[in-house]
Amino acid sequence: MGEYDFLRNWTDWLKMSDLSQLDLTGSVQTLRQSFFRASRSIEPDLPDLAEISNLLIDGADGPLKARLYVPRGAGIAPAPAIVFFHGGGFVLGDLDSHDVVCRRLADGSKCRVLSVDYRLAPEHKFPTAHADALAAWRWTTDRGSMLGFDLERLAVAGDSAGGNLAAFICQEANRASLLMPAFQLLLYPLVQFSDLRSKKLSFQEGGFFISSTLFDYFRDSYIESRTDRMDPRVSPLFADISTFQGLPPAHLVLCGWDPLKHEGQAYADKLAAHGVPVSLREHPGMVHGFMNLTGISSPARDAISAAGRVVGEALGARRATPP
């Protein structure tokens, strides 16, 4: 099945034309159920890992659920590891919605992966998710050695809103003098949460998975004050120039049919302009969120594995792929 063939299967999202008119509580539950159904799959070629464990780690205001993935061939501890934050507009997603993504990322990278289940909006407003992500990073850098992590080879990763949190962790490490991640993997990241509606979108960009209406819905569910939309924590693209200096190497995965693609490209350019080593892979026929479609798209499965290999090679978990 090619990149373009799977789009017809993504019908749950195409039917959500005006979420802002729905009852907030009801719409959140409907969205979460639809997202979970669409992202869960039974895959005969799912990698067989050495270990998968459920944990409790420290959040900003109490314990958070987390899940540790240890792939076969991960090496003797302490070994390279990845802290992963799931996407979903800060409203959707959990450990289970991104379980397959994390399994494939662990297998592709040959790195241990710690997936973090941060609190969601609208129940928990900005900056709760960012505070939880920061607390999870602090917990990992304090206790990660108990999980077999080499703290000098510890990366952050995430898709969409999770990519936002991964980028935030790197910038916050500069602002707060924290341990800097060794690498950042940003999968079609949300790097500005200010506006999408004013952009001129093609049919493909505006009709699949994330529309202007859905963008506004996610943003307004998480951010109460209009002035906070430009806060560098939630819009890292607009962070102070000094914040970009000394950031870790980055790999960005972008999608051709994604209204956030251009902001992702701009973020990569901004990193490169400040001397940060950056690589970028664009999947022309893919839409935002495509890595949750592994059950119906072999290119999505391949894309996760390829992104994992980039991280694994950067952290020294696997040999570089021959040119």
DSSP string, 58-82: E-SSSEEEEEEEE-TT--SSSEEEE
Which CB contacts under 8 angstroms, 24+ apart, belong to 205-210? 205/257, 205/258, 205/259, 205/261, 206/259, 207/14, 208/7, 208/10, 208/13, 208/14, 208/257, 208/287, 208/288, 209/10, 209/13, 209/287, 209/288, 209/289, 210/89, 210/258, 210/259, 210/260, 210/288, 210/289
State the CB neighbour count (10 A cutoff) for residue 54. 10
Instruction: Give Cβ neighbours of residue 314 (< 8 Å, ≥ 6 apart).
Output: 155, 182, 183, 249, 251
- Which of 89-93, 203-207, 214-218 comes out lowest in average pLDDT? 203-207
Cβ neighbors of 269 (< 8 A, separation 6 or more) are: none
φ and ψ of 218, to 5 deg: -60, -50
Inter-residue contact 117 to 66 (CB < 8 Å): yes
Reported as a single tens digit per residue, the pLDDT across 290-312 is 998 888 888 999 999 999 999 99
The count of other CB atoms within 10 Å of the CB of residue 173 is: 21
φ/ψ region of 194 (left if φ > 0, alpha if ψ in -120 to 50, else beta) reads: alpha
Token pair listed for 145: 């050695």
275: left (phi over 0), alpha (psi -120 to 50) or beta: left
Q: Which residue has the tokens 């290999």?
A: 309
Average pLDDT over residues 18-46: 67
Tell me the residue range of the domain where 229 lies.
5-315
Residue 71 lies in a domain: yes
**Is the confidence at residue 1, as pLDDT, over 70?**
no
The pLDDT assigned to 53 comes to 98
Closest CA to 187 of 166, 168, 172: 166
Instruction: Please name every residue paired with 63 in a beta bridge, in sequence order, or none if there are none.
Output: 58
Structure-block tokens of residue 236: 């890292």
Looking at residue 41, what is its pLDDT? 65
In percent, how much of the chain has pLDDT > 70? 85
Query: Do the Cβ atoms of 94 and 296 come closer than 8 Å?
Result: no
**Separation between Cα atoms, residue 58 and residue 117, nearest integer Å:** 11
**Rounded Cα gap, residues 152 and 315, in angstroms:** 9
The answer to whether residue 322 is domain-embedded is no
Task: Say how far apart CA 127 and CA 293 lie, in whole Å.
Answer: 29
Report how many domains make up the chain.
1
**Is 213 inside any structural domain?**
yes
**Average pLDDT value for the chain:** 88
Whether the predicted pLDDT of 226 surpasses 50: yes
Q: Is residue 321 part of a domain?
A: no
Domain CATH for 209 = 3.40.50.1820
Contact 305, 108 (CB under 8 A): yes
pTM: 0.90
Q: Is residue 278 part of a domain?
A: yes
Lowest mean pLDDT among 141-150, 193-202, 279-288: 193-202
Q: Is residue 320 part of a domain?
A: no
The band of 45, judged by pLDDT with boundaries at 50, 70 and 90, is: confident
Active site residues: 160, 258, 288
In a domain, 84, yes or no: yes
Q: How confident is the model at residue 27 (pLDDT cuts 50, 70, 90)?
A: confident
Separation between Cα atoms, residue 260 and residue 262, nearest integer Å = 6
323 belongs to a structural domain:
no
Identify the helix (H) or strand (E) that includes residue 115: strand 112-117
